[in-house]
Structure 1
Amino acid sequence: MNKPRFLHKRLCRCFLFFVLTALLASPVFFAFPSRANADHIDPVFEIKITDISKAQASRLTKSGVNVTNRNGTTIWAYVTEVQFQSILNQGFAAETVAGETRKDAELDSANYTDYPTYAEVASALSAFESSYPSISRVVDIGDSYEGRKLLFLKISDNVDVEEDEPEFKYISTMHGDEKIGTDLMLRLIDHMLSNYGTNADITRLIDGMEIWIMPLMNPDGYTANQRYNMQGIGYDLNRNFPDRIDDPANTLVNYTGDPRPIEVQRIMTWAFGQSSTLSANIHGGALVANYPYDSNSSGAYVYTACDDDDLFIELSLAYSTLNSPMYNGEFSQGITNGADWYTAYGGMQDWNYVWMGCMEITLEVSNYKKPPYSYMDGLWDDNRASLLAYMEWALRGVRGVVTDKETGLPITAAITAKSGSWESDFKVYTDPDVGDYHRILLPSDDPYTLTFSAAGYETKTVSGIMVQEGDAVRLDVEMDLKPCNFNCSNGPDLPDAVIALQVLAGLSPEIGNCTDARPLSGVQIGLEDALYILQQAAD
């Protein structure tokens, strides 16, 4: 006998329910060619699609198209030939993008004649160090795929000394065909070094923080005048960092087990040894300050706020407000939430915020990737004040040093903040060399509460912290070691519970002589110690 049709429908609905439940419970992975092993994918090229809706563009992203810009109903993307034909077959108005004009010889300034070559960038950084040896240092963090150096210039008043001060970084040109940022960074370095000691604002920045500037993250792509690096047929470096949605492991290999692009590995390895507070990565092709998140689980082009959304809006406005073309351009006030503009997975911005305890935005500083070089003087005028004003935010909020109460030595700790109904899961971390932390926060009439946690130490919470405009409020913290660390490991842990139970059984296990080997009573190991340890292990 045939079953009633309503029963078929019910079975189908049940089946769909279980399928959707399984999908929602699983990590979301999109098939991005820009994140695949570049040795095994087809070559890509840039296209422009017009008359495409936000929803349609979102579907292309989810299908694996590497969308790189969106302006109203026009998007730009990198695609393979197969993807391009598929887009055309769907009826979209798409065309390949020709290269942009690089230079207008008649309009070039007297001081600068063309975008600097990689060799000229490296030479300029070396010359800066030679001219200002007491406040600048070239730092080589490793080679690119083709063997070119990835170079930072570190700037600080005591450039070779670890101090209690925030670390700031600018990284430019991870897309090799976006040359503007490289030149801007060289101008910024020159401006800061040459005005140190005479300009009060610049002197305050150099004296008060550790500044890292990398003018060129993708020297191979820069030399070849292409977006991607030169590994295989190329990787998009700003799609290959860990991502909270589709690649949620902060490791040098991606979710497929393949090594990340070598330039991404260099940046990650360097960052693991730093404690950056604030940063920005610099691009060309649009005119906007972009803030987290860039990605979301649906892939839709919708506003996707992080816990510090209000703060990121202010950070972005700190830049755009002083840049008239950006502030008065196509984006309201010159800023945008990343995913509301278009979703991007594997970006450096979100990676810094989610894993590295560093607030980062993405700065698109020109609607053209490579405008005639004669435009650079004007672009420098547009961006100079913004670059310095954004940097200054690293000195705001709450700062201090976290130390061991007994020894006074610095502790590696994580710090979270909340105020009233607002609470952020974002963690900043102390610098293990000095123990200093720097948590940027908005001024507020409501007090903040900071929580400090560190392995082997009692969690400490400090309330009633008032943050005002200007310099960060000072809050130094001493932390107590957790008791019952009877084996003097990074405890208390389960082996310590075994020791406590052995003592209760009349045995004489070996007990360490470290400060935190003390029992809760301070006198004799008892049942309460075993229970305490088990609770700590459970937490």
Structure 2
Amino acid sequence: MRPFSRTTSARRARTAAAALVALALAAGLGTQATASPSGPPTVQQWEVTGLDSATERTALTRTGTAIDEVRPDSVVITAGDADVRRLRSLGYELSALPGTSAADVRPTAPSDYHTYAATLAEINAVRAQYPSLVTTRVIGRSYQGRDIVAVKVSANAATDEAEPEVLFTHNQHAREHLTVEMALRTLNVLTSGYGSNARITQLLNSREVWIIPSANPDGKVYDQESGSFRSWRKNRQPTPGSSLIGTDLNRNWNYRWGCCGGSSSSPGSETYRGPSAESGTETRVVADFVRGRRVGGVQQITAHIDFHTYGELVLWPYGYTYNRTGPGLTADDAAAFEALGEEMAGSNGYTPQQSSDLYITDGSINDWLWGDQGIFSYTFEMYPRGASGGGFYPPGNVIARETARNDAAVLLLLEYADCVYRITGQEDTYC
């Protein structure tokens, strides 16, 4: 599904062309308002108009700008005054979205979103309540030394059985706290449903589920626990040879890293890909965990969702190319990705599409998990659909509703994890 393929006006084409001509001037510049250890000054969201195609949006991202939201003929970005001036000098038209400053956005109550410590406490409580269904493992530590935890949910969870494994990752981007709530929702639904819900019982009897609630705990703590949100995206790892802080973990994976204009080489950019693939401490921790799930040379993880906010989208590889197929991604693979993506989107009301229908990204977790590990990997961009719903910080009273909205999609992925090609009737060929 390609909902944004509209005819571009001559005026917009001229704007994009001007931006491309000026792109060399932007080399080495970034869109992070500041990345000093003391943190960024006030930033807010801006609408950039005159962009209605993937190529135009990609031209914007090649200036080092991270896109928060795609609209039919514009995008929304988070930026400070210096970034706004720079983009305007490149020919872009920007207008501020009122009330979207990070300083303006606060949770309805301090307890709306789980802190890092509260997240671990809830996981430990569920493990104590369901000891036969839940085990936990510290798979590594963040740059600042916080535990990165993987939670296993399965019947006979303490035993590594020969069953398809499914991975759910969350909170690669620090400010996307709703995704951590999604992790806790999945954990509670699966454990409370075992033995009382026939579908969940059957799935946990035949699947092993791994949940990583926060892949970026340093960034989460930094964004959430100062008294007001900071609109922080990256991790908290310094860049060698620079005073700037942070790598975009979802541009740091070791597949087509930095290949295609879908990330930035500038440490100040929100989409800074790091000095090398897997240079992000947290990227390497999760990648090593995934590689460690190979048994006898066969990857046990078969399916995956990486939860983000926002936009209400179901996305699949590849992100680095506009082409529907590519090396290691055949027409049959693409058809299976699309069919399952559309079925999951049918259950939650999201828009399904190939990732690059939005704009080019490279070094993403989806592309690495499929291109390097052969895992059917999706991104879910959760609620809201747009900035008017709260952007990265929706009010706490929607958390239960919006996490529950993905229950059916999670179960669908679990059901097809034994053979995703079954959804296109090709199980006899591939499974």
Q: Does 1:444 align with 2:428?
A: no
Counterpart for residue 407 of structure 1:
none
The within-5 A match list for 1:480-491 is none
Q: Deviations over 1:45-80 (max 9, x none)?
A: 665333222343222223333334322222234668
2:345 to 320, 341, 344: 320
Deviation at 1:260, TM superposition (A): 1.1
Deviation at 1:119, TM superposition (A): 0.4
1:321 alignment partner, SS class: helix
Deviation at 1:383, TM superposition (A): 1.8
2:107 to 100, 103, 108: 103
The within-5 A match list for 1:163-242 is 163-225=161-223, 226-232=232-238, 233-242=245-254
2:201 alignment partner, SS class: helix
The within-5 A match list for 1:16-35 is none
Deviation at 1:320, TM superposition (A): 1.2
Counterpart for residue 302 of structure 2:
277
2:312 to 287, 312, 318: 287
- Matched to 1:56, the amino acid is E
Q: TM-score, normalised by structure 1?
A: 0.60
C-alpha distance in structure 2 between counterparts of 1:264 and 1:31, whole Å: 23
Determine if contact 2:143/2:237 at 8 Å carries over to the other structure: yes
Counterpart for residue 255 of structure 2:
243
More RCO (CA 8 Å, sep 6+): 2
Deviation at 1:441, TM superposition (A): 4.3
C-alpha distance in structure 2 between counterparts of 1:31 and 1:137, whole Å: 45
C-alpha distance in structure 1 between counterparts of 2:40 and 2:93, whole Å: 21
- Matched to 2:57, the amino acid is A
- Matched to 1:88, the amino acid is R
C-alpha distance in structure 1 between counterparts of 2:411 and 2:277, whole Å: 38
- Matched to 1:196, the amino acid is Y
Determine if contact 2:171/2:180 at 8 Å carries over to the other structure: yes
Counterpart for residue 124 of structure 1:
122
C-alpha distance in structure 2 between counterparts of 1:102 and 1:317, whole Å: 34
- Matched to 1:235, the amino acid is T
C-alpha distance in structure 2 between counterparts of 1:273 and 1:378, whole Å: 35
Determine if contact 1:69/1:285 at 8 Å carries over to the other structure: yes
Check 1:34–1:238 CA distance in 2 against 1; reply closer, same or farther (3 A cut): farther
Counterpart for residue 162 of structure 1:
160
C-alpha distance in structure 2 between counterparts of 1:315 and 1:31, whole Å: 40
2:393 to 350, 370, 386: 370
1:50 to 48, 51, 60: 48
Q: TM-score, normalised by structure 2?
A: 0.74
Counterpart for residue 486 of structure 1:
none
Check 1:396–1:147 CA distance in 2 against 1; reply closer, same or farther (3 A cut): same
Counterpart for residue 354 of structure 2:
337
Where structure 2 has 5 or more consecutive residues not aligned to the other structure, the ranges are: 1-26, 224-231, 239-244, 261-272, 294-298, 385-390
The within-5 A match list for 1:304-319 is 304-305=324-325, 306-307=329-330, 308-319=333-344
Determine if contact 1:287/1:366 at 8 Å carries over to the other structure: yes
Counterpart for residue 357 of structure 1:
374
Deviation at 1:92, TM superposition (A): 2.0
Counterpart for residue 430 of structure 1:
none
Determine if contact 2:140/2:148 at 8 Å carries over to the other structure: yes
Q: Deviations over 1:95-132 (max 9, x none)?
A: 56512644335xxxxxx951111101011111111111
Deviation at 1:378, TM superposition (A): 1.6
Check 1:383–1:178 CA distance in 2 against 1; reply closer, same or farther (3 A cut): same
Check 1:220–1:156 CA distance in 2 against 1; reply closer, same or farther (3 A cut): same
C-alpha distance in structure 1 between counterparts of 2:29 and 2:340, whole Å: 30
The within-5 A match list for 1:414-493 is 440-444=421-425, 448=429
Work out which of the two has the higher radius of gyration on C-alpha atoms and give 1 or 2: 1
Check 1:392–1:39 CA distance in 2 against 1; reply closer, same or farther (3 A cut): farther
1:63 alignment partner, SS class: coil
Determine if contact 1:48/1:74 at 8 Å carries over to the other structure: no
C-alpha distance in structure 2 between counterparts of 1:356 and 1:56, whole Å: 31
C-alpha distance in structure 1 between counterparts of 2:320 and 2:214, whole Å: 25
Determine if contact 1:176/1:228 at 8 Å carries over to the other structure: yes
Counterpart for residue 382 of structure 1:
405
Q: Deviations over 1:380-421 (max 9, x none)?
A: 332222222222210235xxxxxxxxxxxxxxxxxxxxxxxx
Counterpart for residue 264 of structure 1:
283
More off after superposition, 139-148 vs 257-266: 257-266
Determine if contact 1:304/1:340 at 8 Å carries over to the other structure: no
C-alpha distance in structure 2 between counterparts of 1:255 and 1:170, whole Å: 24
Q: Deviations over 1:269-310 (max 9, x none)?
A: 1111012100010011211101111112xxxxx454442111
Deviation at 1:33, TM superposition (A): 5.7
Q: Deviations over 1:484-534 (max 9, x none)?
A: xxxxxxxxxxxxxxxxxxxxxxxxxxxxxxxxxxxxxxxxxxxxxxxxxxx
RMSD between aligned residues: 3.0
Check 1:259–1:379 CA distance in 2 against 1; reply closer, same or farther (3 A cut): closer
C-alpha distance in structure 2 between counterparts of 1:370 and 1:315, whole Å: 29
C-alpha distance in structure 2 between counterparts of 1:278 and 1:32, whole Å: 37
Counterpart for residue 67 of structure 2:
67
Determine if contact 1:102/1:371 at 8 Å carries over to the other structure: no
1:201 alignment partner, SS class: helix
Deviation at 1:217, TM superposition (A): 1.1
Identity %: 24
More off after superposition, 282-291 vs 236-245: 236-245
Check 1:137–1:31 CA distance in 2 against 1; reply closer, same or farther (3 A cut): farther
2:417 alignment partner, SS class: helix
Check 1:170–1:32 CA distance in 2 against 1; reply closer, same or farther (3 A cut): farther
Deviation at 1:238, TM superposition (A): 0.8
Q: Deviations over 1:420-477 (max 9, x none)?
A: xxxxxxxxxxxxxxxxxxxx444437962x5xxxxxxxxxxxxxxxxxxxxxx6xxxx
- Matched to 1:279, the amino acid is H
Determine if contact 1:47/1:94 at 8 Å carries over to the other structure: no
Check 1:257–1:246 CA distance in 2 against 1; reply closer, same or farther (3 A cut): closer
Counterpart for residue 347 of structure 1:
364
Determine if contact 2:173/2:308 at 8 Å carries over to the other structure: yes
C-alpha distance in structure 1 between counterparts of 2:258 and 2:136, whole Å: 35
- Matched to 2:292, the amino acid is G
Q: Deviations over 1:149-192 (max 9, x none)?
A: 11111011122222221110100111111111111211221111
Counterpart for residue 19 of structure 2:
none
1:137 alignment partner, SS class: strand
The within-5 A match list for 1:502-521 is none
- Matched to 1:282, the amino acid is F
